[in-house]
Amino acid sequence: MRHIALEEAFSVPQWNSESDWGDFPIDRNLVTDWTRRLRDINEYRLPEMDEHGIDIQVLSLTVPGIQIDQEAPAARDNARAANDYLARVVAEHPTRFRGFAALPMQDPKAAVEELERAVGELGFCGALINDHLGGHYLDEPRYDEFWSALEELSVPLYLHPGAPPADRWKVLQGRPEMYGAAWSWAAETGGHALRVLFSGVFDRHPAATLILGHMGEFLPFMRSRLDSRYGTFTLENPLRHAPSHYIGTNIVITTSGVFSPAALTGAVMEIGADSVMFSIDYPYETTRDAVAGLAGTTLSDEDRAKIAYGNAERILRLKV
């Protein structure tokens, strides 16, 4: 079966020294390996894709990406440089790679301009940003033009974890195992998506598509609870639909980093096979495990094909 993988990281070789993972109690040998693989295209990445049947990786700048820049001018310059580098990689391997744009969200107008350039001139199929920007979220009015641009260009936004934290949760204190990919990033990014949903962004921009990785950052499994509690609220500007309506329509998900056949089956039961796309989270996860997780489900061949490649072709408008 063909596979298109959507959450696959790269770094710009000229930029990165070995990443400082700070509070993460991660084996330094793994960090060294990840750093090597992030910079690489031919030595590690393509052979692993070939070995496990990955036809296309959609590449995106690794965490924390442009979100780490404090000033808008640096963010604008770095986003453009990252996207130009990625465009060269895609041009060298046009049948194997596609790109998500990095964007300078520090300057919403510049983010729109870079999105338009990346899609219109570089041929990218959407954008990926790493959660919030210093505590600013995408439900804020200053990003409304950005949502309009996503609609007009008919491309999705992938909301990924990994921004430098805006604050510290006391529940995490003394338990570094809980910080990051193991738990807190999913809660933070899922919370960001809920801010967007509850603010009415998808009522104002009904054609906008937000992609969440890691089996939807908990949200598919909370749909009934969200509806139940939302029904108890008295709000000045209520949503046009129940919260569950938007999860599986405007919000779609990928399997990145969550390779449990049971979890995938549950997500499909909640939001439908048309709303789930295959991903790996390379190089932080292994391609072997990602492929095995999809193959190990009891889903129909038709649904597995949608998840493996069909939905990505449709949602990202890929020409393959």
Mean pLDDT of 128-135: 93
Residue 15 confidence class, pLDDT cut points 50, 70, 90: confident
97-106 average pLDDT score: 98
pTM of the model: 0.97
Number of domain units in the chain: 1
- Looking at residue 114, its amino acid is E
**Section 140-167 average pLDDT:** 95
pLDDT at 86 over 90: yes
**Is 320 part of a structural domain of the chain?**
no
The pLDDT value recorded for residue 27 is: 83
Identify whether 33 is a catalytic site residue: no
For residue 105, give Cα distances in angstroms to 69, 70, 154, 259: 10, 11, 19, 31
Q: Tokens 């300078």 correspond to what residue?
A: 104
Catalytic entry in 20, 281, 289, 303: 281
Average pLDDT over residues 68-73: 88
Average pLDDT in the 277-302 region?
Answer: 98
Domain membership flag for residue 55: yes
* pLDDT value of residue 22: 60
Helices 287-295 and 45-52: angle between axes, nearest 10 degrees: 20
Domain contains 199? yes
- The answer to whether 252 and 315 have CB atoms below 8 angstroms apart is yes
Distance linking the first and last C-alpha atoms of the chain: 15
Does 24 have pLDDT greater than 90? no
Model pLDDT for residues 197-220, shown as the tens digit of each residue: 999 999 999 999 999 999 999 999
pLDDT band, residue 320 (cuts 50/70/90): confident
- Least-confidence region, from 114-123, 149-158, 176-185, 297-306: 176-185
pLDDT digits (tens, 9 = 90+) for 291-316: 999 999 999 999 999 999 999 999 99
- Dist CA 308 CA 143 (whole Å): 32
User: Tokens 């959609």, residue?
Assistant: 58
pLDDT at residue 20 in the model: 57
Tokens for 147? 């949502």
Average pLDDT, the chain: 95
Q: What amino acid is encoded at 175 in this protein?
A: R
**276 pLDDT above the threshold of 90:** yes
Is residue 150 over pLDDT 90? yes
Is 16 a residue whose pLDDT tops 70? no
pLDDT in tens, 171-192: 989 998 898 999 999 999 999 9
Task: Please state, as a whole number, how many other Cβ atoms lie within 10 Å of the Cβ of residue 113.
Answer: 16
239 — pLDDT class (breaks 50, 70, 90): very high
Backbone angles phi, psi at 189, to 5 degrees: -75, -40
Backbone angles phi, psi at 263, to 5 degrees: -65, -40
CATH number of 18's domain? 3.20.20.140
Range of the domain at 140: 4-315
The count of other CB atoms within 10 Å of the CB of residue 42 is 9
- Cβ neighbours for 306, distance < 8 A, ≥ 6 positions apart: 273, 274, 276
